[in-house]
Amino acid sequence: MTRDLVLILDYGSQYTQLIARRIREARVYCEIHPCWDGVPAHLEGRIKGIVLSGGPNSVYAEGAPTLDPKVLELDVPVLGICYGMQLLVHAMGGEVEPAAEREFGRAEITTTHPGILFDGFGTDAPEIVWMSHGDRVKRLPDGFQPIAHSSNSPYAAIGHVSRPIVAVQFHPEVHHTPNGQQLLERFLFDVCDATADWTMGSFVDEEIASIRQTVGDDHVILGLSGGVDSTVVAALLDKAIGAQCTCIFVDNGLMRWREAEEVTHFFEDYLQDAHFVHVDASEAFLSALAGVDDPEKKRKIIGRVFIEVFDAEAAKVEGAAWLGQGTLYPDVIESVSPKGGPSTTIKSHHNVGGLPDHMKLKLLEPLRELFKDEVREVGRELGIPEDRIGRHPFPGPGLAVRVLGEVTAERCATLRLADRIFLDEIRAAGLYDDIWQAFAVLLPVNTVGVMGDERTYENACALRAVTSVDGMTADWFHMPYEVLARCSNRIINEVRGINRVTYDISSKPPGTIEWE
């Protein structure tokens, strides 16, 4: 199915993905493309509207990203946000200048000509919005009129008098703009005349048909971790091509408490026709990690050993032509930003960027259009049990990034037990589903303690729990003190080798969710 879409041109805003999420929450399909690509020619006939994101640049600065002329030539509705608004003004003959007072954070705007976007918002009381800009519009281009203003921005929102072009200086996509979703939906449905047909039920039907057409009579190999993403891919492939799929689960010895057994039992029962292979390679991984404490070296070793083990097992599958992966849309977006582009690549992804040269397999990535919450909805559509779909994310390198310092079987066992106690107490308190990710970290720090009448000198353990929507940003979870107290008491009493427990209250940014 060729689906209409809203095109988001990314000018480097930290909120660009949030724009996409808000549009998809309205059940309208959208795609993010880097601004230097302009309007992709292959999408022109499908575009219902274009959104120009914010960004860190000044439109008048040398080398600042510019507006692709096609944006205005296509005669489709356009919404400019922050930098996107200033870019429209600059490109159409208006003037942008540095603001005498920059606006960052909560602001109040007053609507003067509500028009379609603000109709029904009212002009009697100020509207609360979220600003983040150092420049402002000084003079409007011909054909534009002001829609709203703030104390610092005479043009907080503007619109063309005859063309479907509107722009706002603030960020409607963030939750700090209370009526932002309403404003975006006005643009989608009243300006763009978009159709709310992006549902996970329709995605499942379309993707199953697409997989069958793409794969044909070939065989697909899937690297199965047991996490949400690979579980959903396995379910899709099982339903689409059945016995033409082999799922290979590599047990690296770095998983959570009894997780390898749980994954094996689940897939042996759940998969109808697809093949399931469990490879216990824990000794190979732990042996390769011996004596290594550098985080990046650990990741590279784990990646290398995984490829060796997986490749050896994949070679046993006759007729394999495709490698299935659980690549998600944020992975794709983060990995397409080259050096010098408007968005900074936050991290490299093992799921993006191709395969080792010797693996002559084509990539099959059925989830690459989806955000994490959409993947979970797909899982529910496929009938995957909630205890599998609602699982907290787990990093590919496993406990190796949570055992700081050298990774050994003994240190993994220590952390595994502490982590299990932490998650057990969170579940017992009914908090598990309120948390995006929770885990324990074993620190390479020994501290003095007293147990009974003896002095101890053992490891410190950090507990981490965050709230998030898609892991791109996160805030620390305000864990009830009584839950923390129970966790600390149990870990110190039940886990040999730990005599101190701390709780991490860092947010992302500036920190990261994982410690390594």
- DSSP class per residue in 17-76: HHHHHHHHHTT--EEEEEGGG-S-GGGGGGEEEEEE---SS-TTSTT-----THHHHS--
Q: Which of 30, 31, 35, 82 is catalytic?
A: 82
Of 435, 497, 496, 500, the residue nearest 464 (C-alpha): 435
E strand or H helix at 78 = strand 78-81
Under 8 Å between Cβ of 248 and 281: no
E strand or H helix at 307 = helix 295-314
Residue-wise over 423-435: b if at least 16 C-beta within 10 A, else e? bebbeeeebbeeb
Residue 171 appears among annotated catalytic residues: yes
E strand or H helix at 423 = helix 409-428
Dist. CA 275–CA 194, nearest whole Å: 41
Residue 82 appears among annotated catalytic residues: yes
Question: Phi and psi (nearest 5°) for 45?
Answer: -75, -10
Q: Which of 90, 133, 160, 171 is catalytic?
A: 171
Q: Which of 173, 185, 374, 425 is catalytic?
A: 173
User: Which residue has 């995984």 as its token pair?
Assistant: 306
Residue-wise over 53-92: b if at least 16 C-beta within 10 A, else e? bbbbbbbeeeebbebbeebbebebbbbbbbbbbbbbbbbb
**Catalytic residue positions, numbered:** 82, 171, 173
